[in-house]
Amino acid sequence: MIGAFLSAAPVAAGPLLDAAIEAEKLAAQNDAKGAFEAMRSGLAAFSQSLPLTVPHAVFITEVPKAYRAYTAKAEPVFVTGEKLITYVEVAGLKWQPAPNNQRQSHFTVDLELTDDEGKTLALQKEFGNFTFTGHSDAIEVYTHLTLDVDGAKPGGYVLRYTVNDVIAERSTPFELPFTLKDKS
């Protein structure tokens, strides 16, 4: 008779599952505040374990009011003279200790503008420079970038931003194609 044996080895669950288990325990004890904080800190730890990424970037009609509180442009089409406002979410940032028992992340954004044939028309390092400081590692990190392309001719373009995590020394690019049209 041939038998098969399965042995259970201890497995590290990771910060997200560990946080969920702890949050469930706290919620069962009627500790909603503790349960929420367990989930928030677990998600923050999990986010830092991810590669630096931009999970969401979109052209918007006006400066966002808060995280995910914006109006997206229906189409990536702008009239000459109109400013390009981009809403950008960043995940996977590293956080470090900051003064007064706080935590801090720091990232920059480089800009490259090309025409639809790939010719570089503009290039700027540190087009944006952002430092977030708070009492805990944030999980909902966003910003907006405003670009004035006044004087550019009508046509197709590609806006390429590169997010640079200054603390972790890593980067991730993303692109947004758009079209400029003459004012009618």
Q: What was the pLDDT predicted at 9?
A: 47
The pTM assigned to this predicted structure is 0.88
**87-117 confidence digits (pLDDT tens):** 999 999 999 999 999 999 999 999 999 999 9
Domain ranges of the chain: 15-47, 51-181
Residue 136 has pLDDT above 70, yes or no: yes
Specify the CATH class of 51-181 in words.
mainly beta
How many Å apart are CA 91 and CA 44, to the nearest integer?
10
Distances, alpha carbon 143 to alpha carbons 21, 50, 63, 166, in Å: 32, 19, 9, 16
